[in-house]
C-alpha cells in the first residue's frame, strides 16, 4: 500500500516536471478587472510612476479596463498568456492598471487629482481595454494638453502579433511614425 502511494506520487511529480513551469494566471480583482502579477502597484502619482519606470530602464503605460469587458479578459488570457509577449512587456514596461469607472484618486502629470473615471474622460479614454504609452520622461508633459502627452495608445483589443508590435514600437523609440515602423520591422 505504501509503495503504491509512493509510486503514484512519483508518477504525478514526474508528470508535473514534464509539464514545465506553471504559467502565471491573471488575478480577478475585487473591482472585476484582471491584473497580471507583474503589473505595478502605485500611489497613482503618474509623474512618480513614469520616473520609477525610467529608473528601471523601462517605459510607462496605463492599461484601462472595465468589469465584465470580454476584450480585457482576452488581452490577459490570450495576449499576455503568450510567453513572447509577456516576457517582452515585463522586460521593457511598467504597466499601471486603472478602472475606467473607478474612484481611486489619480494625480496627473500636471498635478490635478481626479478619480479614475474623470481621469479617463480627461484623456478621452472611451474603450476598454485601452493602453496609453507615455514618453521616457515626464519633462514638459504637464504643459501639454492630455491627448498630446501620449506616444501612442491601443484603443481596444488587438490581435497578439499586432499588440506586440505596438509595444516594440514604443520600446524601440525610433522616431518613426507607427506605419513606417511596421514597414521597416516586417521587411
Q: Single out the residue of 49, 60, 75 nearest to residue 128, CA to CA.
A: 75
Which residues, other chains included, contact 50 with Cβ-Cβ below 8 Å and sequence gap of 6+?
Answer: 60, 109, 134, 137, 138
CB 59 within 8 A of CB 134: yes
Q: Is 155 a member of any domain?
A: yes
pTM of the predicted model as reported, rounded to 2 decimal places: 0.85
Give the integer Cα–Cα distance in Å for 42 and 170.
22
Could you give the angle at the alpha carbon of 165 between the alpha carbons of 164 and 167, nearest 5°? 65
Q: Is 11 a member of any domain?
A: no
Which parts of the chain sit beneath pLDDT 70?
A: 1-23, 185-187
Q: Is 45 a member of any domain?
A: yes
Q: Is 81 a member of any domain?
A: yes
Q: Is 14 a member of any domain?
A: no
ω into 137 cis (within 30 of 0): no
CATH number for the domain spanning 59: value is 3.40.30.10
Count of domains observed in the chain = 1
The model's pLDDT over 111-135, given as tens digits with 9 standing for 90+, comes to 999 999 999 999 999 999 999 999 9
Residue 18 pLDDT: 47
Q: Is 77 a member of any domain?
A: yes
Which residues, other chains included, contact 180 with Cβ-Cβ below 8 Å and sequence gap of 6+?
Answer: none
Q: Is 12 a member of any domain?
A: no
Q: Looking at the chain, which runs of residues are DSSP E strands?
A: 27-28, 34-35, 59-65, 93-99, 105-107, 113-115, 130-133, 152-155
Q: Is 92 a member of any domain?
A: yes
Give the integer Cα–Cα distance in Å for 80 and 149.
25
Q: Where are the alpha helices (DSSP H) in 61-159?
A: 70-74, 83-92, 116-122
Give the integer Cα–Cα distance in Å for 39 and 32.
16
The range of the structural domain enclosing residue 172 comes to: 26-186
Amino acid at each position: 500500500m505504501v509503495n503504491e502511494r509512493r509510486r503514484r506520487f512519483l508518477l504525478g511529480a514526474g508528470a508535473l516536471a514534464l509539464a514545465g513551469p506553471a504559467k502565471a494566471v491573471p488575478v480577478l480583482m475585487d473591482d472585476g478587472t484582471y491584473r497580471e502579477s507583474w503589473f505595478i502597484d502605485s500611489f497613482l502619482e503618474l509623474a512618480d510612476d513614469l520616473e520609477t519606470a525610467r529608473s528601471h530602464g523601462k517605459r510607462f503605460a496605463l492599461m484601462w479596463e472595465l468589469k465584465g469587458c470580454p476584450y480585457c479578459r482576452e488581452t490577459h488570457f490570450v495576449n499576455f498568456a503568450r510567453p513572447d509577449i509577456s516576457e517582452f512587456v515585463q522586460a521593457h514596461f511598467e504597466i499601471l492598471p486603472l478602472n475606467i469607472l473607478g474612484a481611486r484618486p489619480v494625480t496627473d502629470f500636471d498635478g490635478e487629482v481626479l478619480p479614475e473615471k474623470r481621469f479617463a474622460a480627461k484623456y478621452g479614454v472611451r474603450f476598454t481595454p485601452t493602453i496609453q504609452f507615455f514618453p521616457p520622461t515626464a519633462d514638459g508633459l504637464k504643459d501639454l494638453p492630455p491627448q498630446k502627452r501620449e506616444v501612442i495608445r491601443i484603443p481596444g483589443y488587438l490581435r497578439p502579433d499586432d499588440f506586440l508590435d505596438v509595444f516594440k514600437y514604443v520600446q524601440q523609440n525610433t522616431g518613426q511614425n507607427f506605419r513606417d515602423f511596421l514597414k521597416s520591422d516586417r521587411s
